[in-house]
Structure formats: structure tokens, C-alpha cells
């Protein structure tokens, strides 16, 4: 399929019966448009990512994301990965990151199920004990959602379907179930809250309730060990960034060989670099490639 065939089959390029001509839809602009094009159509579109742990009146770190949804997904995922701890978890024989699964559901939801005509920015707020996401919404069932009776209703079906096809999201309804599943795993029992009103709000606890001794030990590392780990990560980031600037695109597996670390570690560092705006990515899953900006 050509690029235009893909756009037509995804409903991103259509013929308007009333106007009498064909053109790209708003979903196409949001998914693939340049930042200045999106701003000309939706001047209020932005996702505000905030870390608020020590400076509760303002913030400790902030990232304002106004690029297209494909690039925004990587940046928001990188921001969450940068400022939250992860846990080791085996799903069958595979190692799965509960933190990344939670971040995936939060990010895909805030990007694909928001009311884009509103000038109120969407928000991702990371606090000491929780992550809060907020986006403007046209509520259909106001109040706290019950996962056992929840009936999913897509706010932007074209964007949601596209996210499913590039594996940024699961089929409609699966995302809520996954969010509950992995939040319970991450916290050993706590559940998220999803509240639908003019602002759709999701609250995910971060406290590792009843965590294993290994997780508790990790959380209580000495300042000296934390400093050592931070320096090691910084050196690895610098080495990888230098390589990217001189060698073009790499996959996570290729980056792992460069820094002599596990593929999962290389992917985490690359995601953080994307979140910091130093690296851009293209493609999906194992075919995803990264290059210096």
C-alpha cells in the first residue's frame, strides 16, 4: 500500500459530500502533522507533564508536549519512565514491566480519548504517591467508573483505531482492564480510579503496598548508591547519544550492544532520551528505530 492508500483505509483522508472535495481529516493532522500545522488548527492543543514531589507549589520538572500524537506518545512515556520506579514481574516466561504497561494505558488514553477542541491542556502529574492524568471530556456517564459494568465509548474512533493498529493501545475496553490488572501488580493490591466528568481524571497509586523485600530494599537505597547509579546512567546516556549522533538510526537491540547492557535497559534509556527531546523514534515494537534529533 502507498502512503495515501494507508491514509484512505484508516479514514484519515476522505471525500466530504457536503463540501464536494477530498482532504485530510483532523485525526490525520493530529497523528502526523508538524507542530506548526497542528497549532494553526488547534492552538490550545498541549499536554502538560509535571513532576511535583518536593516543590508542591510549582513543580520539580516539567515537559510541555505539543507535537503530533505519534511523537507525543514517546515523549510522555519517557517522562513517566524517567520519574517513576519499576518492578520486576514475570508473566509466564516473559519479563513484563508493570510500570510501562500502566504508562502505556495512561498515555494512549490521554492522547486518543480527549476533546481536542477544548483549550484546556491535558495533564500528566506525577506526585510522591500517585500519577494523575486529566483531559477535557464530553461525559456520557459522569461519575466514578466501575470496571465490572463499564461500557467503553471511543471519543475519537479514528485515532483510537490507529493506535490499536500500531500497538500503542489495545482494543477498546482492554485498556481499562489492563490498567486495573497492572496497577494491582505494581502496588500489590491497590486499584486505580477513573472519574468521568467535564475533566476525565485517572488516578494511579505509586506506593508499593506490601512490596517484596527486594522492592523495599530498592526503594531504600543509600544516597551513595543512588548517586553511583545516577552517574552510571548518565555515562551510559552520554555514550549512547554520542553514538547516535555519529551513526544514524539504531534499534533497542543494537543500542544494547553499543552500551553493553540488556535490551530492556537500552530501551528505557532511549525512551528517556525521547522524553528529554534529544532523540526521536519511528516505527513500532521491535522495528522501532531511534536517531538523534
For residue 12, the model assigns a pLDDT of: 92
For residue 99, the model assigns a pLDDT of: 93
Rounded CA separation 91/35 (Å): 39
Rounded CA separation 196/207 (Å): 24
Write down the pTM of the prediction.
0.72
Asked if 253 contacts 239 with a C-beta cutoff of 8 angstroms, the reply is no
Domain with CATH 1.10.10.10 in the chain: 221-292
CATH fold label, 36-205? Heat Shock Protein 90 (3.30.565)
For residue 232, the model assigns a pLDDT of: 63
Residue among 191, 61, 220, 198 at smallest CA distance from 126? 61
In the chain, which residues have pLDDT < 70?
172-173, 208-233, 284-286
CA 194 to chain centre: 17
Q: What is the mean pLDDT of the chain?
A: 84
For residue 246, the model assigns a pLDDT of: 87
The H or E element containing residue 39 is: helix 35-41
- In the beta sheet, which residues pair with residue 130? 205
For residue 231, the model assigns a pLDDT of: 57
pLDDT tens across 246-283, in order?
888 888 888 888 888 877 788 888 888 888 888 888 87
Residue among 67, 89, 86, 85 at smallest CA distance from 76? 67
Q: At what angle do helices 252-259 and 263-275 cross, to 10 degrees?
A: 110
C-alpha cell at 102: 500502566
Rounded CA separation 50/278 (Å): 19
CATH class of 221-292: mainly alpha
- Map grid coordinates 466514578 to a residue: 144
pLDDT tens across 84-123, in order?
988 888 888 888 899 999 999 999 999 998 899 888 899 9
Domain with CATH 3.30.565.60 in the chain: 36-205
For residue 204, the model assigns a pLDDT of: 95
Asked if 249 contacts 289 with a C-beta cutoff of 8 angstroms, the reply is yes
Asked if 241 contacts 280 with a C-beta cutoff of 8 angstroms, the reply is no
Rounded CA separation 76/83 (Å): 11
Helices (H), 69-169: 69-83, 98-112, 157-165
Amino acid at each position: 500500500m502507498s502512503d495515501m492508500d494507508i491514509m484512505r483505509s484508516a479514514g484519515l483522508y476522505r471525500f466530504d459530500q457536503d463540501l464536494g472535495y477530498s482532504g485530510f481529516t483532523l485525526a490525520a493532522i493530529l497523528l502526523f502533522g508538524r507542530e506548526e500545522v497542528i497549532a494553526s488548527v488547534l492552538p490550545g492543543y498541549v499536554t502538560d507533564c509535571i513532576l511535583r514531589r518536593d516543590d508542591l507549589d510549582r513543580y520539580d520538572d516539567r515537559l510541555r508536549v505539543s507535537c503530533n500524537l505519534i511523537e507525543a506518545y514517546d515523549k510522555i512515556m519517557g517522562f513517566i519512565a524517567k520519574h517513576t520506579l519499576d518492578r520486576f514481574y514475570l508473566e509466564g516466561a516473559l519479563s513484563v514491566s508493570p510500570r510501562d504497561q500502566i504508562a502505556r494505558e495512561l498515555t494512549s488514553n490521554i492522547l486518543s480519548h480527549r476533546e481536542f477542541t477544548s483549550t484546556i491542556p491535558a495533564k500528566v502529574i506525577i506526585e510522591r504517591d500517585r500519577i494523575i492524568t486529566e483531559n477535557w471530556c464530553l461525559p456520557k456517564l459522569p461519575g466514578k467508573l466501575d470496571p465490572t459494568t463499564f461500557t467503553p465509548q471511543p471519543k475519537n474512533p479514528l485515532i483510537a483505531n490507529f493506535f490499536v493498529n500500531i500497538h500503542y493501545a489495545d482494543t477498546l475496553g482492554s485498556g481499562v482492564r489492563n490498567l486495573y490488572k497492572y496497577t494491582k501488580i505494581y502496588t500489590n493490591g491497590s486499584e486505580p480510579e477513573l472519574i468521568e466528568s467535564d475533566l476525565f481524571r485517572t488516578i494511579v497509586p505509586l506506593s508499593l503496598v506490601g512490596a517484596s523485600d527486594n522492592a523495599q530494599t530498592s526503594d531504600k537505597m543509600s544516597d551513595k548508591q543512588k548517586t553511583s547509579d545516577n552517574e552510571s546512567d548518565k555515562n551510559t546516556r552520554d555514550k549512547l547519544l554520542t553514538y547516535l549522533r555519529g551513526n544514524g538510526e539504531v534499534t533497542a537491540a543494537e543500542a544494547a550492544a553499543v552500551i553493553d547492557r540488556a535490551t530492556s535497559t537500552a530501551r528505557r534509556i532511549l525512551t528517556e532520551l525521547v522524553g528529554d527531546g534529544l532523540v526521536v523514534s519511528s516505527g513500532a515494537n521491535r522495528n522501532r528505530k531511534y536517531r538523534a534529533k
